[in-house]
């Protein structure tokens, strides 16, 4: 198994702006047939990030049909995807959360119902990411 380290820059115009968030990509032995797993190794309050830091987006889901019929097969992993596309997808996810199928239900609820509180937690995490 290969493990890569990545630094994700918070997208401009979002509460994540200015943050630098360390993450790991873990590539399985059967990569590129199977997708890597991505996990933030710092605090991340986001609807599409599990509380343990694992990222939950379509591009990182195993290829094929979604048994829950939420995602189309074309949105899921395929061997032609690149690490660059994964990282771009994660930055896009930070800017525009998918709250219809959240990994962190509490963050999704707060993002929908108490946006100012959500953004405060995110900004606090940005400061932590910078050691402030």
Query: Which sequence positions are flagged as catalytic?
Result: 56
By residue count, the chain amounts to 132
Give dist(CA 21, CA 124) in Å, integer: 13
* 105, 23 contact by CB (below 8 A): no
Contact 24, 38 (CB under 8 A): yes
Q: Answer whether 49's CB lies under 8 Å from 103's CB.
A: yes
Dig out the tokens for 12 from the structure: 């401009």
């Amino acid at each position: 198994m290969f493990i890569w380290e990545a630094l994700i820059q918070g997208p401009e115009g979002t509460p994540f702006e200015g943050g630098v968030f360390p993450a790991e990509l873990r590539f399985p032995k059967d990569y590129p047939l199977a997708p890597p797993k991505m996990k933030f190794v710092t605090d991340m309050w986001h609807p599409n990030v599990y509380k343990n830091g694992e990222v939950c987006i379509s591009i990182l889901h195993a290829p094929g049909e979604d048994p829950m019929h939420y995602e189309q097969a074309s949105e899921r992993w395929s061997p032609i995807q690149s690490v660059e596309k994964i990282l771009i997808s994660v930055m896009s996810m930070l800017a525009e959360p998918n709250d219809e199928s959240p990994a962190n239900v509490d963050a999704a609820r707060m993002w929908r119902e108490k946006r100012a509180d959500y953004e405060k937690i995110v900004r606090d995490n940005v400061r932590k990411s910078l050691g402030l």
